[in-house]
Amino acid sequence: MNDIIGITMGDPVGVGPEITVKALAEMTPEQRAKTRVFGNLATLEAAQKVVGTSLDLSGLVEDLDVPGAPLPWGRLDPAAGDAAFRFIEAAVRAAEAGAIGCIVTAPINKAALNAAGHHYDGHTGLLRSLTAADSAFMLLASERLEVIHVSTHVSLKEAIGRVTPERVLDTIRAGHAHLRRIGIETPRIAVAGLNPHCGENGLFGNEDVEQIGPAIAQARDEGISVEGPISADTVYYRAYQGGFDLVIAQYHDQGHIPIKLVAFDTTVNVTVGLPIDRTSVDHGTAFDIAGTGKANHTNMNAAIAYARKLAAGRCQ
């Protein structure tokens, strides 16, 4: 496997360039030799001035043009959204060609991306489209809790509609396959319920029985160790205490809130189901502090570490 990782710089006016150069500065020379950055050199050099690093970036960066770079920090800009798209597209093509083993993405701004004419709900949908994958799933990984989502960046009303037996089963399968890949021979999976107390036998809705239950039964028939649906107000505690290796969350906030509570700075966003590997920070562009040098790169370091393990074929 190719153990070179490719970092996409993210939105040029957000904190992505800063956390990228901070992470690069902390790498050993050997690690930097196995790293490529897909971004804009002028922006990254401006970020170095902000954070106080002084690396020679010329040999590390796949330099893509950003008109007017460096752009003003912290201002939503369609030109920045378009640049962020092109950084990701270049990294995907490199991964597909085998030039890099895993992509690490710095944050993009969804409003800027869409203002530039790239109409996606975020990285996961964009990557699925660029790779022509049938589906893609957001998995959040931390030391003691892992969560994969049935749906992510949609309205709550739409998320409820996406809780179908087919989609829930596909999510279980994707999570199971990923955990097997990273060395868990028999993953223990829990499926969170959608309604309070899993609907309380229909008192609070029938989705848990009619939509989620059949998916769990089918997964069990396929030999997957899965329990549920389990009330969402208890399942994450049980998983955090070691009872499960993975929780299937039914929608964005149901999965994001518990894992960000217990591992805010170290949670890694992993896209599962693509023909290429991708990890990411689990935070946004933070326009309010962009250009100040204050951005914390702990999450970027965690995403890079996970990516190196994926690229090397070992995640234990």
pLDDT, tens digit (0-9, with 9 covering 90-100), for 19-43? 999 999 999 999 999 999 999 999 9
Question: In whole angstroms, what is the distance from residue 60 CA to residue 33 CA?
Answer: 8
Question: In whole angstroms, what is the distance from residue 40 CA to residue 27 CA?
Answer: 20
How far separated are the first and last CA of the chain, in Å rounded? 16
Distances (CA, A) of 23 to 51, 72, 175, 298, 301: 11, 22, 29, 8, 6
Whole-number percent of the chain with pLDDT over 90: 96
For residues 219 and 173, is the Cβ–Cβ distance under 8 A?
Answer: yes
Cross-sheet strand order for the sheet of 189-192: 61-63, 35-39, 5-8, 102-105, 278-280, 268-272, 137-141, 146-149, 246-249, 189-192, 226-230
Least Cα distance to 11 among 268, 289, 290 occurs for: 290
10-residue block means of pLDDT along the chain (316 residues)?
93 98 97 98 98 95 97 97 98 97 97 97 94 96 97 96 98 97 95 96 94 98 98 98 98 97 95 96 96 97 95 66
Phi, psi of 14 (to 5 degrees): -95, -160
pTM here is: 0.92
**Element of type H or E holding 6:** strand 5-8
Question: In whole angstroms, what is the distance from residue 44 CA to residue 42 CA?
Answer: 6
pLDDT of 316 reads 46
CA 12 to chain CA mean position, Å: 19
pLDDT, tens digit (0-9, with 9 covering 90-100), for 158-185? 999 999 999 999 999 999 999 999 999 9
Least Cα distance to 92 among 72, 120, 116, 53 occurs for: 120
pLDDT of 2 reads 87
For residues 109 and 52, is the Cβ–Cβ distance under 8 A?
Answer: no
Task: Name the token pair of 240.
Answer: 């955090």
pLDDT of 313 reads 78
User: ∠ at Cα 110 (259, 57), nearest 5°?
Assistant: 90
